[in-house]
Amino acid sequence: MTATSTTTAAGHGDAPGDAPRFRYTAALAGSIEAKWQDFWELHGTFEAPNPVGALAPADGAVPADKLYLLDMFPYPSGKGLHVGHPLGYIGTDVLGRFARMTGRNVLHTIGYDAFGLPAEQYAVRTGTHPRVTTEENIARYRAQLRRLGFGHDQRRSVATTDPKFFRWTQWIFLQLFDAWYDEDAHRARPIAELVAEFQAGTRPTPDGRAWTDLSAAERDAVLTGHRLAYVDEAPVNWCPGLGTVLSNEEITADGKSEIGNFPVFRRNLRQWMMRITAYADRLLDDLDRLDWPDSVKSMQRNWIGRSTGAQVRFPIADADPDAALEVYTTRPDTLFGATYMVVAPEHPLVPAITAAAWPDGTDPRWTGGAATPAEAVAAYRLAASQKSELDRQENKEKTGVFTGASGVNPVNGARVPIFVADYVLMGYGTGAIMAVPAHDVRDHEFATVFGLPIVATVQAPSDHPADEAYTGAGAAINSANDEVSLDGLEVVEAKARITQWLQDKGFGFARKQYKLRDWLFSRQRYWGEPFPIVYDRAGIAHALPDALLPLQLPEVTDYAPQQLDPLDAESEPVPPLARATDWATVELDLGDGLQTYRRELNVMPQWAGSCWYELRYLDPTNDQTFCAPAVEQYWMGKRDGIAGDPGGVDLYVGGVEHAVLHLLYSRFWHKVLFDLGHVTSEEPFRRLFNQGYIQAYAYTDERGVYVPASEVVETSPGVFGFEGKPVGREYGKMGKSLNNVVTPDEMCEQFGADTFRMYEMNMGPLDTSRPWSTRDAVGSQRYLQRLWRSVVSEETGELTVVDDGPDAETAKLLHRTIDGVRADYEGMLYNTAIAKLNVMVNHLTKANVPVSREVAEALVLMTAPLAPHIAEELWQRLGHDASLAHGPFPQADPALLVEDLVELPIQVKGKVRSRIQVAADAAAADIEAAALADEKIVELLAGAAPRKVVVVPGKMVSIVP
């Protein structure tokens, strides 16, 4: 196939009836589309040059104006694509094609997030290696996507399962393993620099001994406490049903696994963790520098959950002077209103503080009916440990028991009773609180149930109900002791003053608190990246040397983690890699002579590959480094012209479901790479755009079974039937279970890829969800048919354009269209761009005269980003040898955009009463005079002088009589 051949496949007789031979039918579209897809592939049309390296042009020259577009890459599932999946891909492709036509260097490709559970679970069932399944699925995705005519640089399409890819995932992991966070410098540094500081004595070891006096195991423990990737024995979410541990983010609100909905138990296990909490402040603060949807930013802020407050020490009454409870509060200004305290049931100090007997006069509601505090506390703790997360959530009534002990409020010496209650969580703050029922809703509920005193310390407005906690702003009251008074201060000043006082007296200090936890990074699975880590005899973890990367997965006969009872909380994880006994140990010389080492048997979670793939797209063939610095700088570097620009991908498009996890993890890894000097950008994704979802109707018969949605007909408005029987209609996601899937392949067969692309873009703005309706696609097909007919005869296939210029009206419309379409493409407002193209084509159709070549060419070029195949075909038929992929793109003539005369409405009392014609550039005074001279206006005013006349040039005139 060459650029000069033209399609001859038209008129196969596959058009219905005896439609004209050269009509633009689905069959003709299909042959045109196959031809141009082959052409683009053969000519490498969409290969974007790099400034250096293997993908650089011979002379190394690349356009300064570049655009890096990124789609969230798919997991290649066995189900293939439905019409909802490509929506975002088409959106980025249209923008990329437009940008390429206007001369920019556009990087756009798509790869595969190919490690993951479905292929592994299929392997467990069938014995098929996950690699085989994964490769088949990728091949199917590639074929489906190719049919849609994307302008992807195929050389850059990577898969996370490719050893050439995960070699660098492992390398980045080792960067994290070999780095620590310097709190003073606010950045990560190589671990070797930390060791040097310990050795030189410029940084004290935790227990003050000299570094050289520490044993190897002790040194390792110190370093483990600093590494950004580290092993820790920590409470984790153990899911026996999946045979693996899960991160907090992979668990639903009711305590089940997001995948499979199995029960999850809290267990202490040794696991790999990522110290993402070290970056909490930067991950939060840098959100302000990103061009992201507010909803996503707010979800990330919420997830990081930074709060500022104070940690306060409450001594235990009648006990050892050293005995105290530390509490965290965001409202230190309400300390004078603290009338009791609560510790979480799991708090380690509970046994120590629990009193031997109930104090005299203990309220019977506080004892839980037990004879001693110890019995009451033990019973309550047991009950709490057996409560599932779900129970806790459903039953929010406040419960608890008194410990018999009291704390001493440091601001006024008041004795405050200490309770154990499960509304306080061990995992947040210190696991203990001071309770201020007057100003905290939860404390108020508890105090009401248990009859505890409520002391107001913030003046509530007079209309605030007396029986509710007041959590708003106001002046402090009842808040003074001999040394400090908050009375009269607003909340912010009161917090500052009391915190300073606490600090001066040694009772407490200001403290920040986060909801974000370190990221649990290991999984007991097979189909993931192996850790490039081995353990010596002492159990110390060592990095594999770079020369031994990639570390490949061993072959195993059974991919299942282990058959476990989903309800057995005490079972132990046994990863599948443990079965590869030959692989699990290895002889290595890591500097201490040849030794036997055990390999790490866990694998990385699915997030690992997606944390950095956008960098590998940039330099996919580089085997010296994950991405050459000059290449990263060119595509993702910070822009000089934008204040505070953090750099990153120019546009990242994907679903909002990745708002927290993927996007937070990627940002974390990117910042580490930035700190270590491997990238120049501080953020991976400068601009983020969430595309909407395509939803679909589903229909159920009288048994509640989903019937094929494609065969349902609307028998009368709002009434639907299938095989003559009425069915009920539902609305939701497109999916096999709802029997309402439509695939892009079907759309290509029925209409062609160009019509399909155009229809998806015509349904509405890219960021809104919309209902799928196959039959509505004919509107887009009609547009393309009219465009085709404006250039080519349906009867003969001959060109019909003429060389004469267009008439004045057509020329004006053309340039207005060019102007509007350009602006719409730049703003990704494809639905309105299509509307303008429709106006133009409808105008030509109506005129019913041969179309001027100038107009036809402009229209073809403007349609090209949306419907690239038909545009290339028409461009070629119009006599152009080169592809239009790199332009030109029409330019509007400013002279044709201005109108000489405009019609302005005249409002009287806000209602349009008349219209006048004035010169477009008429002065306001002239317009006012013309308006007041208008017959109908004169009549309405009846001689009275108007009180006010508002003239908005070019828009309207408003008269107030």
Partner RNA sequence: GCCCCCGUAGCCCAACCGGCAGAGGCAGGCCCCUUAAAAGGGUCCGAGUGUGGGUUCGAAUCCCACCGGGGGCACCA
Question: In the structure encoding, which two tokens stand for residue 53, read together?
Answer: 């390296």
User: Quick check: bond before 550 cis, omega within 30?
Assistant: yes
Least distance (Å) between residue 60 CB and RNA: 42
**SS3 (DSSP) at 435:** strand
Query: Least separation, in Å, of the C-beta of 349 and RNA?
Result: 14
* Least distance to RNA, CB of residue 250, Å: 12
How many angstroms separate the CA atoms of 870 and 783, rounded? 12
Q: Quick one: DSSP state of residue 359? A: P
* 909 in a known ligand binding site: no
What is the rounded distance in angstroms from the CA atom of residue 952 to the CA atom of residue 98? 35
Q: Minimum Å distance from CB 362 to RNA?
A: 23
705 or 960: CB nearest RNA: 960
Query: Least distance in Å: CB of 655 to RNA?
Result: 11
Question: Cβ closer to RNA: 330 or 625?
Answer: 330
Q: How many CB atoms lie within 10 A of CB 583?
A: 18
In this complex, which beta carbon is closest to RNA, that of residue 247 or of residue 781? 781
The CA–CA distances, whole Å, from 824 to 732, 765, 853 equal 30, 11, 24
- As measured in angstroms, the least distance from the Cβ of 514 to RNA is 8
- Residue 926 amino acid letter: D
The least CB distance from residue 619 to RNA, in Å, is 35
| Closer by beta carbon to RNA, 551 or else 659 | 659
Q: Which is nearer to RNA, 155 or 442 (CB)?
A: 442
Query: Nearest Cα to 110, choosing from 833, 506, 681, 610?
Result: 610
- Please count the residues of the chain: 961
* Minimum CB–partner distance for residue 78 and RNA (Å): 25
- Count CB neighbours of 314 within 10 A: 23
Least Cβ distance, residue 566 to RNA (angstroms): 23
Q: Which is nearer to RNA, 526 or 756 (CB)?
A: 756
Query: Which residue, 636 or 866, is less far from RNA as judged by CB?
Result: 866
What lies within 8 Å, CB to CB, of 870 at 6+ separation is 24, 29, 32, 754, 784, 787, 788, 863
Query: Taking the CB of residue 455, how many other CB atoms lie within 10 A of it?
Result: 17
| Cβ at position 96, least distance to RNA in Å | 21
Kindly report whether the peptide bond that precedes residue 461 is cis, defined as omega within 30 degrees of 0.
no
319, exposed or middle or buried, with CB in 10 Å at 0-12, 13-18, 19+?
middle
Query: Do the beta carbons of residue 937 and residue 927 sit within 8 Å?
Result: no
Buried b / exposed e over 256-273, threshold 16 CB at 10 Å, is bbebeebbbbebebebbb
Q: In angstroms, what is the C-alpha Rg of the chain?
A: 35
Compute the CA torsion angle 537, 542, 547, 550 (nearest 10 deg). Answer: 100
DSSP string, 14-77: -SSTT--TT---HHHHHHHHHHHHHHHHHHTTTPPPPSSSTTS-TT----S-EEEEEEPPPP--
For residues 313 and 324, the answer to whether their CB atoms sit within 8 Å is yes
Angle between helices 86-101 and 808-826 (to 10 degrees): 120
Structure token pair of residue 734: 């497109």
Indicate the residue among 134 and 329 with the shorter CB distance to RNA. 329
Asked whether 416 and 339 are in contact (CB, 8 A), the reply is yes
Question: Between 386 and 581, whose beta carbon lies closer to RNA?
Answer: 386
Q: Output the smallest distance, CB 294 to RNA, in A.
A: 6
Collapsing DSSP to helix, strand or coil, 353 comes out as helix
884-887 long-range contacts (CB < 8 A, ≥24 apart) are 884/101, 884/860, 885/40, 885/45, 885/46, 885/97, 885/100, 885/101, 885/151, 886/100, 886/101, 886/103, 887/100, 887/101, 887/102, 887/103
Distance of closest approach, residue 858 Cβ to RNA, in angstroms: 17
Q: Which is nearer to RNA, 154 or 831 (CB)?
A: 831
Q: CA torsion sign, 33 to 36 to 41 to 44? A: negative
- Per DSSP bridges, beta strands 770-771 and 694-700 are parallel
Of 19 and 132, nearer to RNA (C-beta) is: 19
User: Closer CB to RNA, residue 13 or residue 593?
Assistant: 13
Within a 13 Å sphere around the CA of 700, how many CA atoms are in the beta-carbon half?
10
| Angle, in degrees to the nearest 10, between helices 26-43 and 868-877 | 80
Q: In this complex, which beta carbon is closest to RNA, that of residue 850 or of residue 905? A: 905
Annotated binding site for ATP: 736
Annotated binding site: 736
